[in-house]
Structure 1
Amino acid sequence: MQVAVFSGAGISAESGVPTFRDDEVGLWAQYDPYEVSSIDGWNRHPELVWAWYLWRWQLSRRVEPNLGHRAIADWEQHAKVHVITQNVDNLHERGGSSTVHHLHGSMFEFRCADCDHPSNPVMPELTEPVLEVAPPVCDCGGLIRPGVVWFGEDLPDGPWNAAVEAIDAADVLIVVGTSGVVYPAASLPERALDQGKTVIQVNPEPTPLSDRVTVHLRTTASAALPGMVQRLPFLLG
């Protein structure tokens, strides 16, 4: 059996990583999220964007994978599992998943904004969030940026093509903790549904996808995912 998992911010939130639009400390409440998540925002105010990602990078390092992440990794004992994630943290990998396609990049990878050369900058430790931190500088003189996909940028071809292949090959798609409103990533569950595949949504709240999926489990990843893959043969008939 082949299983594809499409995950979003909700599964990481269970570990303590605030969802993208949450203002976890009040410091960035005055800023539109677009300011810290777009190429335009970076070009206007790189110190602000770098400070925001530096703090989230530290938050992600301090938390641990939850039962949902670990359950998905455990499924590899019973099925071929491909994780497709919109998250830019590394909790799926730390939870034990061996095949993870990051549609929106990773904040644990860095590159020069000018020459695109990979970088491994020394990251300062912050005891509390701050509004501005000067980004590191590449040997070419350009600024080092997080390896994430911002609004206004294209998704990377490699992860996108791998995600499409995983959807097409899957017997079932599990959609976990995503609102399903950010495109083009949100088109992947729609692709599975158009192919007549079984799609199971795990989300405490309804989403635009809820009325179309095969099953909507209105609960958390940690509650729903442990043991799920062992029950899938019965769900698939």
Structure 2
Amino acid sequence: MDDLERLADDIRDAATVVAFTGAGISQPSGVPTFRGDDGVWEKFDEGQFTYGRFQRDPVGFWADRVELQRVMFDEEYEPNAAHEALAELGRDGSLEAILTQNTDGLHGEAATSAREGGTDETTILELHGNSQRVRCIDCGKRADGDSIFERAADGELPPTCDCGGVYKPDVVLFGEQLSGAVIQRARSLAQESDVFLAIGSSLVVEPAASLPRLATSSGATVGIVNLESTPIDGSADVVVREDVTDVLPEIRALVEK
């Protein structure tokens, strides 16, 4: 039995399967990464996008953020075969939750498409937020980001909510704490999992580094799908260094079989 067949068998027999995803699952869709030779931070100064600057200089922050958003989303990105495979596993009841570091919203789009005709919904925890949304810092109202970014691009700096509060991109900025409730839920899911899949992540920074370790300590089967090595490889049950858009559809097909 090869590694993917083993993972598929374990997924089929599991009560709780959890997937954790990083930038490597969205890169095949064309979504730019933040770090690396051609990363976003090669074009922008990441120090200009801190929570402190947003509080201190919302006008300047939003002026720069509009340009950053334009570069990040200069084209429409669509879910790829890996997103779709996870969404199909969720629709069929084989995947309890997706925990993602990504802010592109592609897991949600894939889930919406896959849900037609399905009965089960997968929990999607966006650990770092969603860059397609904004949130008012006063009343907490969330809104679709497109119209708000258009208003900012047209000169409304900073864009404000009906209540008068300033809108903030609904992502975790540098210097801002991740949501404690979201992180606690992610940790609980990792501990409850029978199978934990880490996909397209270097698993270096928190909370990425701790989640597969929590799953391992609870006795879960841990599978890693990533082109590069990770610090968790030695404790994982299965490590696959192949393209996620090839591996995830194959796992899904084996589970269905």
- TM-score under structure 2 length normalisation: 0.75
Cα pair 2:86 2:95 within 8 Å, conserved = no
Cα pair 2:127 2:178 within 8 Å, conserved = yes
| Counterpart among 122, 134, 138 of residue 161 in structure 2 | 138
Cα pair 2:134 2:148 within 8 Å, conserved = no
| Counterpart among 224, 247, 250 of residue 201 in structure 1 | 224
In structure 2, the partner of 1:65 is 79
Cα pair 2:192 2:218 within 8 Å, conserved = no
| Counterpart among 150, 154, 162 of residue 173 in structure 2 | 150
In structure 1, the partner of 2:203 is 180
The secondary structure found in structure 2 opposite 1:174 is strand
Q: Distance in 2 between matches of 1:221 and 1:124?
A: 32
When residues 144 and 70 of structure 1 are mapped into structure 2, their CA distance, relative to the original with a 3 A threshold, is: same
When residues 35 and 207 of structure 1 are mapped into structure 2, their CA distance, relative to the original with a 3 A threshold, is: farther
Cα pair 2:32 2:39 within 8 Å, conserved = no
In structure 2, the partner of 1:191 is 214
| Structure 1 residues 59-101: Cα deviation after superposition (integer angstroms, max 9, x where no partner) | 4x70110000001112132513310101111111111274211
- TM-score under structure 1 length normalisation: 0.80
Q: Distance in 2 between matches of 1:185 and 1:41?
A: 26
Q: Distance in 1 between matches of 2:191 and 2:234?
A: 21
In structure 2, the partner of 1:35 is 48
In structure 2, the partner of 1:215 is 238
| Counterpart among 35, 55, 66 of residue 21 in structure 1 | 35
Tell me by how many angstroms 1:48 deviates: 4.8
Q: Distance in 1 between matches of 2:137 and 2:128?
A: 16
Amino acid at match of 1:35: Q
Q: Distance in 2 between matches of 1:207 and 1:25?
A: 20
| Counterpart among 165, 175, 195 of residue 188 in structure 2 | 165
Cα pair 1:181 1:208 within 8 Å, conserved = yes
The secondary structure found in structure 2 opposite 1:46 is helix
Amino acid at match of 1:108: Q
The secondary structure found in structure 2 opposite 1:21 is coil
Tell me by how many angstroms 1:190 deviates: 1.5
Aligned residues: 226
Amino acid at match of 2:161: C
The secondary structure found in structure 2 opposite 1:183 is coil
Q: Superposed, which structure 2 residues align to 1:77-88 within 5 Å?
A: 77=92, 79-88=94-103
Q: Distance in 1 between matches of 2:191 and 2:39?
A: 41
Q: Distance in 2 between matches of 1:187 and 1:52?
A: 34
The secondary structure found in structure 1 opposite 2:73 is helix
Q: Distance in 2 between matches of 1:29 and 1:191?
A: 34
The secondary structure found in structure 2 opposite 1:80 is coil
Tell me by how many angstroms 1:103 deviates: 0.9
Amino acid at match of 1:102: E
In structure 2, the partner of 1:54 is 69
Tell me by how many angstroms 1:113 deviates: 3.3
Q: Distance in 2 between matches of 1:115 and 1:188?
A: 32
Tell me by how many angstroms 1:149 deviates: 1.1
Tell me by how many angstroms 1:194 deviates: 1.9
The secondary structure found in structure 2 opposite 1:208 is coil
Cα pair 2:79 2:109 within 8 Å, conserved = yes
Q: Distance in 1 between matches of 2:43 and 2:95?
A: 44
| Structure 1 residues 137-192: Cα deviation after superposition (integer angstroms, max 9, x where no partner) | 23454431111112322222343233223212221111011111221343111111
In structure 1, the partner of 2:130 is 106
**Most deviating of 65-74 and 49-58:** 49-58
User: Does the alignment pair 1:90 with 2:80?
Assistant: no
Tell me by how many angstroms 1:133 deviates: 8.6
Cα pair 1:111 1:145 within 8 Å, conserved = yes
In structure 1, the partner of 2:23 is 9
